Structure 1
Amino acid sequence: MSQAQQAAPPRRSGDTAVVLVLGLAAMVVSMMQTLVVPILGIIQNDLRATTADVSWVATATLLSAAVFTPLFGRFGDQHGKKPTLVGVLMVMVAGSVLAATTTSLTWLIVGRVMQGAATAIFPLALSILREEVRPERLHGAMALVSGTLAFGSGLALVGAGLLTRGSHPDYHRVFWLAVLLAVVALAGVLFVVPASRTKTGGRTDWLGALTLGALLVLILLPVSQGHQWGWASGRTLGAFAGAVVMGMVWVLVERRVAEPMVDLKMFVHPPVLFTNLAGLMLGFAMFTQFLGVSYLVQMPDRLIGYGFGASVLEASVVYLLPTALVSLLGAQVGGVLVRRLGARATLAVGACCGVLGFTWLSGAHDTTASVIGAGMIIGLAISFGYAAMPALIVAGVPSHQTGIANGINSISRSVGSAVASAVITSLLASKTVPVPQGVPALPAESQFTLSFVIAGAAFLLVVVIALLGLEPDRVPRAAEPSTAAEPPAAQGAEAESATAAV
């Protein structure tokens, strides 16, 4: 009998504290992704780096997340979620301290690589919730933890703006903020999160992890650097070609390994496959809103006829923070909708809100009220989507695959964010308006409109995925885990039944 099938200890009663601590940890995860966006220019000036070199400060975290998230997600399923979560948080603390103390671009990038490992915290947190939270509260708990992702992304932008204001901005303060939050999250996990209830054991599929990591890097590297390299350059095309080859190698490896890191049957199982596609679109739309609005409101209206001439701090606090706050509050509503309507319907409702929000933003972004109002609707859409996706993933996989399945879903959102960054950067650079001599080239207003239209189309695809790709009768019943009182035989039967379904 495997460890995963042994009788679990009685379910804890203090699951509210567990949810709050895991929500804090997830918020820290999302902050690592956007923390450096407002300060890349400051880092470039302080370290006397080129634009191409400093872009690796953001890219390094993305690539690190792609490599380590599925590995740590699977490792947590096998060897215990809490010890894996503690280990990842310790790596993030060390990386944040390194980034906060170094004056070397190379070591700063190393610190960012270590921070990127934090992305694995989110799937580990969802795995712990599935074990520890009572079934009737599971959807709401997952929705709250998922909602902290969008909130954390916005909070990071606000924090970076506040900490670097003034005539002598210091980017090191931003990374000290990351250290403080990571230490608080680590302490919370150590003292509040209970020991892992189940472990599957088995060997770690290092070859599968290596080939999957190489595949994801070969996809994300040209997507994130294509604007610098040139989309038709040999490096960009070569990386995409290498991704195709590595994808075939990864499939061959996983089919031959006795205990693969990713069960390929799970990977193509419709609920999981379509949820990952939805995650890709949601990641794209969320980052488009954050990045597009941030750039738009900073455009000098007196010079080119549009924009608001906002500072980085104003862009974050006035225009982006309301979106983040609505995302956090909307997550609770999303959890209620998942319980009452099902995750499929919640995803569809949220995507419809996203279409509405980006339609508004595309047609009317000339007033502060319009930009904030449309952003709040988009924030609601994102929170509903984030509330629904964990329930869809949990419904589609057995409990011992929760970590790796949610890890892959996290990567799909990261890929979507990377694609959004590449698309927006390319669109804004492709068409500029005349400006006085000595002023940097500025994008035409139509390019912002086009970016928002594309993001609205991404949400429309999510509506199609939810209505045509997902089955409505799977979600409410299958998303609830078995209670701790079930005998070992029942747990084993449930796992076998779910595996057979996959």
Structure 2
Amino acid sequence: MTSTAHAAHKRPAGDTSLVLVLGLAAMIVSMMQTLVVPIMSIIQGDLGTSTANVSWVTTATLLSAAVFTPLLGRFGDMHGKKPTLVGVLLLMIAGSVLAATTSSLLWLIVGRVLQGAATAIFPLALSVLREQMPPAKLHGAMAMVSGTLAVGSGLALVAAGLLTQGSDPDYHRVFWLAAALAVVALAGVLVRVPASQSTTGGRTDWLGAATLAVLLVLLLLPISQGHAWGWTSGRTLGLFGGAVVMAAVWTLVERTVREPMVDMRMFAHRPVLFTNLAGLFLGFAMFSQFIGVAYLVQMPKELTGYGFGASVLRSSVEYLLPATVISLIAAQFGGVLVGRIGPRFTLATGAVFGVAGFAWLTAAHDSSASVILAGMLIGVAISFGYAAMPALIVAGVPHHQTGIANGLNSISRSVGSAIASAIITSLLASKTLEHLPAGAPALPAESQFTLSFALAGIAFVLIVAVALLGLNRGGTPSRTSKKAGSAVADTVTAEPAKAGVTA
């Protein structure tokens, strides 16, 4: 479908209800990533298992998201976004109900695997917006939907803390909440999301999907478990080596199959490649702030000399929720900036806020005001990043590759988050305080938090470099036709998002 014909089929105005429905659905994505973090110790105690075993409750979702997101994003491009969204939400509901009704670690992990499919909602939602919204309102709509990712993370922490308060906490309530939200989102999708106006059809590249899935599992598994296995252990190094081999195999497969899941020309196209690199750094910085602040404020000051002795609920509400709220507000301005100065400079502007926020946290994290205000600066940075990256992706790929391209960008952020979790966990465990009272748990030295915040600040510095240097030239890739193997030249100028998106 041509750009003009496609625009004629778009709905006459950016319907607020469509954006709200897709925003709610996307919010569930980030909720699934952080919902269990405050209740891991409760799950461990109730199921009578070890720390290593219970860590699979989070690892399973990460691996599942890595496998499902690109596959379902591409499936939506081929066979329609709405039916794919409905299928993902049904998987999400099934996983949530299973997790809410079981007291078995094995079945809880199975439920979390099903919940991991929710990550595919975000690229599918952006594909729907690109299809349904007029160009003048597309950037703002994508920014609002993207902003709900940060909101979901904060709300999940608060909700998990509230639902497990009391002398007899029950983690099952948290999963019932997830199921209820998914049901509401499913109803909204069924009622409000229209059927796709065009699909590419074709065959599903099962070999490409399988090799990509194996590659991501081999990469993410040692990242998420390396602190427990040992970074120089044979298992960790062997999996990293296997990931390198599978990267070569996947590239070969996608370059030779007739209808590849990922067009490697699109994947290696400069704007797409550097946007994914920015996503990696943004995921690292975002999760560094979340984990670093959550742990820092819970440190008992009478034992460590730093921290605020906050409970899980207080750390979520007082120290993390303000950043979540400011992210939602900033998302509206992020969409405006994308339209005014372009996504590249919006990304760089946000990253400058991030550098300032982490510099503040690095230098002064000894007062509640400093931690909260620095976190709000970081919240603005994350929101602007979320607003800019979908616009960069949409401007850099043809219409029929929107889902898979945004799916890969989501995976880049997930990889960054996993790396942040692994590095910060290892840093905090590598240097602990001496002369603690007998029987006290090992507690990290304050310098480890300082180093963690400094590394996250460097990640934002790298985002500035990527935005200003890596994305400073190039355009959208040659548009591939919907028939496999054929392509037509349709080069557009750099920074096309300033003037609207072509399809």
1:74 and 1:404 in contact (8 A); partners too: yes
1:345 deviates by 0.4
1:342 and 1:472 in contact (8 A); partners too: no
- 1:60-459 aligned within 5 A: 60-434=60-434, 435-459=436-460
Structure 1 pair 12/179, CA: closer, same or farther in 2 (3 Å)? farther
Q: How many residues align?
A: 484
Structure 2 partner of 1:483: none
Gaps of 5+ in 1: 480-488, 490-494
1:167 deviates by 1.0
1:151 and 1:327 in contact (8 A); partners too: yes
1:397 and 1:498 in contact (8 A); partners too: no
Quick one: which amino acid aligns to residue 452 of structure 2?
A: S
2:23 and 2:144 in contact (8 A); partners too: yes
Q: Is 1:16 matched up with 2:10?
A: no
Structure 1 pair 65/139, CA: closer, same or farther in 2 (3 Å)? same
Quick one: which amino acid aligns to residue 461 of structure 1?
A: L
CA distance in 2, matches of 1:369, 1:139: 33
CA distance in 1, matches of 2:72, 2:355: 34
1:398 and 1:498 in contact (8 A); partners too: no
Quick one: which amino acid aligns to residue 165 of structure 1?
A: Q
Structure 2 partner of 1:468: 469
2:270 and 2:471 in contact (8 A); partners too: yes
CA distance in 2, matches of 1:296, 1:10: 48
Deviation digits for residues 12-43 of structure 1 (CA, Å, limit 9, x no counterpart)? 54621111100000001110000000000000
1:261 deviates by 0.2
1:352 deviates by 0.5
Percent identity reads 74
CA distance in 2, matches of 1:197, 1:358: 44
2:270 and 2:474 in contact (8 A); partners too: no
CA distance in 1, matches of 2:173, 2:206: 37
1:47 deviates by 0.1
CA distance in 1, matches of 2:222, 2:459: 21
1:351 deviates by 0.4
Give SS of 2:170's match: coil
Quick one: which amino acid aligns to residue 50 of structure 2?
A: T
CA distance in 1, matches of 2:418, 2:219: 10
Quick one: which amino acid aligns to residue 242 of structure 2?
A: G
* Superposed CA RMSD: 2.0
Q: Where has structure 1 moved over 3 Å in runs of 4 or more?
A: 4-10, 495-502
1:469 deviates by 0.7
Scaled by the length of structure 2, what TM-score is found? 0.93
1:249 deviates by 0.7
CA distance in 2, matches of 1:369, 1:395: 40
1:8 and 1:198 in contact (8 A); partners too: no
1:432 and 1:441 in contact (8 A); partners too: yes
1:8 deviates by 6.9
Quick one: which amino acid aligns to residue 445 of structure 1?
A: E
CA distance in 2, matches of 1:68, 1:221: 15
1:303 deviates by 1.2
Scaled by the length of structure 1, what TM-score is found? 0.94
1:95 and 1:111 in contact (8 A); partners too: yes
Give SS of 1:131's match: helix
Structure 1 partner of 2:499: none
Structure 1 pair 252/306, CA: closer, same or farther in 2 (3 Å)? same
Quick one: which amino acid aligns to residue 90 of structure 1?
A: L
Give SS of 1:194's match: coil
Deviation digits for residues 310-351 of structure 1 (CA, Å, limit 9, x no counterpart)? 000000000000011111111101000000000000000000
